[in-house]
């Protein structure tokens, strides 16, 4: 029974990921203990050397004792194995409650920087695709119905801007995460007169936490991270969905590279966009991770309770999932092929209805009225099974005498896109992103 509980209680299987931060935190802590006169110079040196060795041992995957509860205890245990009595001094005045949250803050700060870099490289890939296909006209959709002709480059750059906001959110939560909790003790602070500013500086934190009760209870920084990543994944998922639809034989706008698809085990003709489907699917578990932690914290009495140990798996899972998804999504983007003919053929001629209405506005008809005229005209064209170009000038005249021969000049998708100055807007977007991807 004892063994069963020990396994149940243990987090070492997953919190070993924090070993580097834990050791760095301990090194800073013993330095502060020495500064405060709690340990001698010699003891400090011994502990620091031994901790460095332990770091190498763990890096070389020398197995940690399994019956030990967590990475913090395991490292301290190993230190005492190595140094005897001196090792036992490391934890003077310190609690795992502050230690765990310190490690998590350090770990997550590093991971945020890493994720931000990976997002930037995806943004660069997007900018490249936009540049390479700057003139590609496609139908733009609202309600999944064709709305107006747009440039694919404009469409795909919208993701680069969403990603820019995602990075802003991450870097914003980084600012609050960048607070050193060490010195908070288990709940009520530290009696050894530690120099907390020194600790923060040693560990690259820009400030120290002010309320020890808050410091050991708080997991907002993880929640903020999980919600920022949930939003980012939602963005990737929406684009995945568009590309999945566009790669279907009904649309046939794009082809996803074979290396990112699978074939059906039963139907030889099939090529499935698994990469994008998995990104869409994994978005669900990233949302779930946010809800796991929100639920763990809801109704949890202050301060530390063991429930909080459940913060780690959702956090680590979200980090590895988002990194994998960003990388795969970038590969999909970088190898995307366009079926330009199919895209251009798919554009419905009635998409120029708004352009016709604008034409009448230019001739002095108020927009609401021109909208009505064009609606009737489109209904007529559909009835006659004619495209807008196939309607004669007399037919146009029967709807409004403001229609002249030059109407045929605007019945062109390219003109429609140019009227909205889209190409220049795209060029400006590319410039903005190049200057400031953040
Ligand atoms: N493994 C624990 C966790 O991850 C560390 C803190 C334990 N603190 C305690 N008072 N039992 O939350």
Ligand 1 contacts CB of residue 29 (under 6 A): no
Ligand 1 centroid from CA 10, angstroms: 9
| H or E segment to which residue 49 belongs | helix 41-59
117 falls in which pLDDT band (50, 70, 90)?
very high
- For residue 438, the model assigns a pLDDT of 58
64 falls in which pLDDT band (50, 70, 90)?
confident
Ligand 1 centroid from CA 169, angstroms: 28
Q: Which residues partner with 254 through β-bridges? A: 338
pLDDT in tens, 302-316: 999 999 999 999 999
Q: Whose CA is nearest to atom 7 of ligand 1?
A: 96
Best of 70, 102, 300 to mutate for ligand 1, by most ligand atoms within 8 A of CB?
Answer: 70
Name the residue among 72, 92, 87, 98 with its Cα closest to residue 20: 72
Average pLDDT, the chain: 95
Q: Whose CA is nearest to atom 12 of ligand 1?
A: 309
Q: Is 264 a catalytic residue?
A: yes
Q: Which two tokens stand for residue 140?
A: 């733009």
User: Is it true that the peptide bond before 244 is cis, omega within 30 degrees of 0?
Assistant: no
Ligand 1 centroid from CA 64, angstroms: 17
Look at residue 145 and tell me whether its pLDDT is greater than 70.
Answer: yes
Ligand 1 contacts CB of residue 219 (under 6 A): no
Best of 5, 100, 310 to mutate for ligand 1, by most ligand atoms within 8 A of CB?
Answer: 100
pLDDT in tens, 185-194: 999 999 999 9
Q: Which residues partner with 138 through β-bridges? A: 150
Q: How far is CA 167 from CA 160, 228, 358, 369, in A?
A: 10, 9, 38, 45
Ligand 1 contacts CB of residue 309 (under 6 A): yes
pLDDT in tens, 85-110: 999 999 999 999 999 999 999 999 99
Average pLDDT over residues 267-288: 92
Q: Is 263 a catalytic residue?
A: no
- For residue 268, the model assigns a pLDDT of 67
Q: Which atom of ligand 1 is nearest to the CA of 69?
A: 1
Q: Which residues partner with 165 through β-bridges? A: none
Beta carbons within 8 Å of 98's beta carbon, 6+ residues apart: 181, 182, 183, 184, 185, 186, 212, 215, 216
Ligand 1 contacts CB of residue 216 (under 6 A): no
Ligand 1 contacts CB of residue 184 (under 6 A): no
Q: Over the Cα atoms of the chain, what is R_g?
A: 30
Q: Is the separation of the CB atoms in 279 and 329 below 8 Å?
A: yes
Ligand 1 centroid from CA 318, angstroms: 21
436 DSSP assignment: -
Local structure of 273: helix, strand or coil: coil
325 DSSP assignment: H
Beta carbons within 8 Å of 433's beta carbon, 6+ residues apart: 123, 127, 157, 160, 161, 164
Look at residue 252 and tell me whether its pLDDT is greater than 70.
Answer: yes
Look at residue 265 and tell me whether its pLDDT is greater than 80.
Answer: no
Q: Which atom of ligand 1 is nearest to the CA of 71?
A: 1
Ligand 1 centroid from CA 230, angstroms: 26
Ligand 1 centroid from CA 436, angstroms: 41
66 falls in which pLDDT band (50, 70, 90)?
low
Q: Whose CA is nearest to atom 4 of ligand 1?
A: 309
Q: Which domains does the chain have, with CATH numbers?
A: 2-92 (1.10.275.10), 97-134+148-345 (1.20.200.10), 347-423 (1.10.40.30)
- C-alpha–C-alpha distance, residues 116 and 296, integer Å: 27
- C-alpha–C-alpha distance, residues 438 and 434, integer Å: 10
Please report, in angstroms and rounded to a whole number, the separation of the first and last CA atoms in the chain.
53
- C-alpha–C-alpha distance, residues 151 and 416, integer Å: 11
- C-alpha–C-alpha distance, residues 393 and 401, integer Å: 10
Strand duo 207-208 + 179-180: pairing? parallel
Look at residue 367 and tell me whether its pLDDT is greater than 80.
Answer: yes
| H or E segment to which residue 153 belongs | helix 152-177
Q: What is the DSSP string of 337-393?
A: EE-HHHHHHHS-GGGGHHHHHHHHHHTT--HHHHHHHHHHHHHHHHHHT--TTTS-H
Q: What is the DSSP string of 94-118?
A: --HHHHHHHHHHHHHHHHHHHHHHH
Q: Which atom of ligand 1 is nearest to the CA of 312?
A: 4
Average pLDDT over residues 157-184: 98
């Amino acid at each position: 029974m004892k063994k069963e509980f020990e396994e149940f209680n243990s987090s070492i299987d997953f919190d070993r990921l924090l070993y580097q931060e834990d050791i760095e935190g301990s090194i800073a802590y013993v330095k502060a203990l020495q500064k405060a006169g709690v340990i001698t110079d010699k003891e400090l040196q011994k502990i620091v050397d031994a901790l460095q060795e332990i770091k190498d041992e763990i890096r070389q995957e020398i197995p940690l004792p399994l019956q030990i509860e967590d990475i913090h205890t395991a490292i301290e245990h190993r230190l005492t194995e190595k140094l005897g009595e001196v090792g036992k001094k490391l934890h003077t005045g310190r609690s795992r409650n502050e230690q765990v949250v310190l490690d998590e803050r350090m770990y997550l700060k590093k991971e945020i920087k890493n994720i931000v870099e990976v997002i930037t490289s995806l943004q660069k890939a997007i900018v490249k695709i936009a540049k390479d296909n700057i003139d590609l006209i496609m139908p733009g959709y609202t309600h999944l119905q064709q709305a107006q002709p747009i440039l694919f480059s404009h469409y795909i750059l919208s993701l680069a801007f969403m990603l820019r906001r995602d990075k802003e959110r991450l870097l914003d939560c980084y600012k609050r995460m960048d607070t050193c909790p060490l010195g908070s003790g288990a709940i009520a602070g530290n009696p050894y007169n530690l120099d907390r500013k020194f600790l923060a500086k040693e560990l690259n934190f820009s400030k120290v936490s002010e309320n020890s009760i808050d410091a050991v209870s708080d997991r907002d920084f993880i929640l903020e991270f999980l919600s920022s990543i949930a939003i980012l994944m939602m963005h990737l998922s929406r684009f995945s969905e568009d590309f999945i639809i566009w790669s279907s034989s009904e649309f046939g706008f794009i082809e996803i590279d074979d290396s990112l698809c699978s074939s059906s085990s039963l139907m030889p003709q099939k090529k499935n966009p698994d990469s994008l489907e998995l990104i869409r699917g994994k978005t669900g578990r990233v949302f779930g991770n946010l809800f796991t932690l929100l639920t763990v914290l809801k109704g949890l009495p202050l301060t530390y309770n063991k429930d909080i140990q459940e913060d780690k798996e959702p956090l680590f899972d979200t980090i590895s999932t988002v990194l994998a998804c960003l990388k795969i999504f970038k590969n999909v983007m970088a190898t995307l092929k366009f079926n330009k003919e199919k895209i251009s053929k798919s554009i419905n001629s009635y998409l120029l209805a708004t352009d016709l209405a604008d034409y009448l506005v230019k001739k002095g008809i108020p927009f609401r009225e021109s909208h009505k005229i064009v609606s009737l005209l489109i209904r007529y064209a559909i009835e006659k099974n004619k495209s807008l170009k196939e309607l004669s000038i007399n037919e146009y005249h029967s709807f409004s005498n403001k229609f002249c021969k030059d109407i045929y000049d605007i019945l062109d998708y390219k003109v429609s896109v140019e009227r909205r100055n889209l190409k220049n807007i795209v060029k400006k977007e590319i410039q903005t992103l190049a200057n400031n991807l953040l």
